[in-house]
Amino acid sequence: MLTGYITDTGTDTNAGTNIDTNAGPTRIQAQIKHIGAKPWKNQNSEVHMTRLYITRHGETIWNTQKRMQGRKDSPLTEKGKQQAVLLSKALADVELEAIYSSSSGRTMQTARIIAGSRNIPIIPLDSLREINLGEWEGMNTAEAEKQYPEQYRNFWKFPHLYEPVGGESFGDLISRIGETLELLANRHNGKSIMVVTHAVILKTIALIVEKKELKDLWSGAFMYPTSLSIIERGGDGWKAVKWGDISHYEE
């Protein structure tokens, strides 16, 4: 079991080791090798089937106001909390080695609800945070479209042409998430873990796993709050089991 975790400030709370989470997942891996957490798997060791259960946070107040959150935050609504409870019940019989969450408040809140009474660590990672939307963060969608019509259109319609307004490019996002997926799979080789993250991150994961072109980023399942996606990594690489399942909403 893990004995330490990375906080949103980049500090390992048990070992007292400062982690530069802005340096990227590869640097993070090198920096935390020596602390008291579970050892990272050697990338040259035998690869066993690793399963990632991935979800988006529950509905937030800003979701109901159609505000663009990105790196900014707002708390879960009562509906969002209930969505997380339903997913927790649906996964009650799934053995998880750990829960990894974006370090944003809304995802950590969701992760704690999903964990429930499980005696497993919840590990915040900055590298799982939502795309940085720059000047758009805090605006509602109508405001962003009015002030930045071309960039807004490209973001949703032509992502391969999108240029951020003080935020993060899709190219940088793909690199960040691709590295993080490999890092998690190597650390939990042959095991199952939960990942709690965001809508654009989930679409980026789907793009990576399905080997889609950037122009097709938004194709496929819509990622509703606490929808469940499952991917596996074996000797042949990543494959999808399901995307955006919300059957637990029916409980």
Which residues sit opposite 122 in a β-bridge? 99
Distance set, CA 164 to CA 152, 174, 218 (Å) = 9, 14, 17
Catalytic residue among 46, 95, 130, 182: 130
For 65-124, where are the alpha helices, taking DSSP H only? 78-90, 105-115
Catalytic residue (one of 34, 46, 57, 143): 57
Q: Crossing angle for the helix pair 105-115 and 78-90, nearest 10 degrees?
A: 40
CA 251, CA 239: separation in Å to the nearest integer? 28
Written as six digits, the tokens of 233 are 């990594």
How crowded is residue 50: how many other Cβ atoms within 10 Å of its Cβ? 23
Q: Kindly report the length of the chain.
A: 251
Q: How far is CA 97 from its chain centroid? A: 17
CB–CB of 140/66 below 8 Å?
A: yes
**Bridge pairing between strands 192-197 and 99-102:** parallel
- The arrangement of strands across the sheet holding 192-197 comes to 122-125, 99-102, 192-197, 50-56, 228-234, 237-245
Catalytic annotation present for 130? yes
Q: Is 160 a catalytic residue?
A: no
Catalytic residues: 57, 130
